[in-house]
Structure 1
Amino acid sequence: MLYETWELLIWKSCDGLLPALQRMVKLLDVDTSEYNCTIKAKRSYDGYERYGVAMNADHLKGTVSTDEANQGSALKLIKVAPCINEYEKAPSGHDATTNWNIFRSCVIPEKWMTDESGYKVYNLTVLEQHPYTTQTFVPMGRGADEDAYVVNVAPDKNGLPDFENVEAFIFKGNTAVTYNIGVWHSPMVVLGKTTDFCVVTNENDVPRENCVEVFYNPGIKIQVE
């Protein structure tokens, strides 16, 4: 069952310690203490199409229609990812608007460890979904060949994340990511340094219709080589 709480807390943001009033919209907490498996993040976008779109020109060329643009100075890849609003299906009936937001995402050191092989391992403790909208993150200020962030996703199983089948993908700085409606994914996991993202999504004024979360304790291990 969904439940919603307000918590007054002090949280460590990219700009220091800030007080925040945080609205938590949870489905449930899941004990993963008996799940002893490490997911290896993939260095390929192949397979991500079941969850959304890896928006990289080289990856998508040959799979979508193209056209010349700007008097021949640009190649347009046409309709590479949708921006879908299905809030008419939401129980409240409240309208949603399409918004551009900016997320400043920072590295959280306490979520990372180094395993015995010397690889970095991220502790994934939450998966979320947006039941009525797609969501697209566009990284800013990262190099084209730079490992910029990790996308963690999971199939749906009876309305909840199938956490035993989480998949992880390493995205470069020249690649945006779209999550399809209802796809379970982690909050943004950046690599190396604080990164700004332009984010386009649809939102109304009902938090539980915008985003719901499932929490995992002690978590799911994601290995990043």
Structure 2
Amino acid sequence: MPRSIPSPSLRIPLEPLTHAAFTPFGTVTSNPSHSPSPSTPGYSSTPLSASVSANQGTATKYAAAAPLTDFYAYLSPSRKPSSPQLSLFVCHPRRLRQLEPVGPIEAFEADYGAEDEMVKRLFDVRVLERHPYTSQTFIPMGLGAEGAHTHYIVIVAPTLPVAGEKRENEERYKPYPTPPRDHRASNIELTYERARPAPYWNENSPQPSGAASGSQQERPRGTGLPDLANARAFLATGRQAVTYAAGTWHAPMAVLGKESVDFAVVQWANAVASEDCQEVELRGQGVGGEGVSVEVEFGDSGEIVVAGLGGVKAKL
């Protein structure tokens, strides 16, 4: 059973999904030639590696478009090896509810549509999850890049610090503490251990992957619960793939619209349930049990509208 935590009544605005805005939580991958112009509200280019010609000159390749990280052998309590997984998620449209509840929120859920009845609706966030030792990439398949009536939203939250956790040093990036040092070893043994050449160490104690020693953005988040007060919600298009960094709290993928969306999902897993995925249920403390929700605003023709830089509204 997932842990249940109290949730204050919070309404999160919907933002455009850009690389810069999403950097604290992971990576957004999209074709640079399809990026919006600098005059577009919320503009942010997607930084990719230098391109090279491929497929006999018929394709352009951008290598290492997003970090794919695996920390199981390095940080998980079991040290059980993981394996790469490619899954298919068929995500069906979610239900929204009216803006102002006057009773239990379940009583006010309604099908997506009927936009002429109200300008705004709410998507209730009831569960957050994280994958402590692996990144997780969602790649939409078959979703029209410019479709006005089917989107997916990405909901994330920072991690709260744990009491006594040393935020100023490297320990902040470790989802779980590393095994305690063996104090039975003599000082001479420890001295020799530190002096052993790298090949010996690599053969006997798995080290982190290249990404594990990379930038802070790629490293696992801490052990704390989600920081609900600073949760954010982003509206994605069919041209964008999303990679959650290891340990990032996020809501299960949410599709808004009239059609289901298929996602190819890439991650690592070792079949230890508590290490592959951790969940918390949000127990709303507001009127009618309202907790964290995302405001979804519709335009005149039913398209979703978001606020970009400077609060300027834009249709996606």
TM-score by length of 1: 0.81
Q: Which one-letter code corresponds to 1:222 in the other structure?
A: V
Give a deviation string over 1:132-161, Cα, whole Å, max 9, x none.
000001111110113520000011112111
Alignment check: 8 A CA contact 2:72 2:79 kept: yes
Shift of 1:61: 5.1
Distance 2:50 2:249 in 1: 29
Partner residue in 1 for 2:135: 134
Relative to structure 1, the CA distance from residue 97 to residue 208 in structure 2 (aligned partners, 3 Å threshold; closer, same or farther) is: same
Relative to structure 1, the CA distance from residue 63 to residue 201 in structure 2 (aligned partners, 3 Å threshold; closer, same or farther) is: closer
Partner residue in 2 for 1:191: 256
Partner residue in 1 for 2:59: 74
Shift of 1:62: 5.2
Partner residue in 1 for 2:11: 38
1:148 aligns with 2:151: yes
Partner residue in 1 for 2:28: 54
Relative to structure 1, the CA distance from residue 165 to residue 61 in structure 2 (aligned partners, 3 Å threshold; closer, same or farther) is: closer
Of 229, 232, 245 in structure 2, the residue corresponding to residue 180 of structure 1 is 245
Shift of 1:36: 3.0
Alignment gaps of 5+ in structure 2: 36-44, 101-117, 162-223, 285-290, 298-316
Query: What is the root-mean-square deviation in Å for CA atoms of aligned residues?
Result: 1.7
Q: Which one-letter code corresponds to 2:71 in the other structure?
A: E
SS in 2 for 1:187: coil
Shift of 1:224: 2.0
Give a deviation string over 1:137-191, Cα, whole Å, max 9, x none.
1111110113520000011112111011001110001211100010110001011
Relative to structure 1, the CA distance from residue 115 to residue 208 in structure 2 (aligned partners, 3 Å threshold; closer, same or farther) is: same
Alignment check: 8 A CA contact 1:61 1:77 kept: no
SS in 2 for 1:202: strand
Distance 2:225 2:47 in 1: 35
Show the 5 A alignment for 1:1-225.
24=1, 26=2, 28-32=3-7, 35-45=8-18, 46-58=20-32, 59=35, 63-88=48-73, 89-109=75-95, 112-115=96-99, 118-146=119-147, 147-158=150-161, 159-192=224-257, 193-218=259-284, 219-225=291-297
Shift of 1:86: 0.7
- Between Structure 1 and Structure 2, which shows a larger proportion of strand residues? 1
Alignment check: 8 A CA contact 2:159 2:227 kept: yes
Alignment check: 8 A CA contact 2:156 2:233 kept: yes
Give a deviation string over 1:13-55, Cα, whole Å, max 9, x none.
xxxxxxxxxxx4x2x21222xx233101102414101111111
SS in 2 for 1:84: coil
Give a deviation string over 1:86-111, Cα, whole Å, max 9, x none.
101111121110010011111232xx
Distance 1:120 1:56 in 2: 28
- Between Structure 1 and Structure 2, which shows a larger proportion of helix residues? 2
Q: Which one-letter code corresponds to 2:153 in the other structure?
A: V
Distance 2:88 2:50 in 1: 29
Alignment check: 8 A CA contact 1:154 1:163 kept: yes
Q: Which one-letter code corresponds to 1:103 in the other structure?
A: F
Q: Percent identity?
A: 35
Distance 2:252 2:46 in 1: 28
Report the number of matched residues: 196
Relative to structure 1, the CA distance from residue 72 to residue 39 in structure 2 (aligned partners, 3 Å threshold; closer, same or farther) is: same
Shift of 1:71: 2.0
SS in 2 for 1:133: coil
Partner residue in 2 for 1:19: none
**Per chain length, whose mean CA-contact separation is higher, i.e. which structure has more relative contact order (CA < 8 Å, sep 6+)?**
2
Partner residue in 2 for 1:12: none
Q: Which one-letter code corresponds to 1:51 in the other structure?
A: F
* Bigger radius of gyration: 2
Alignment check: 8 A CA contact 1:57 1:77 kept: no
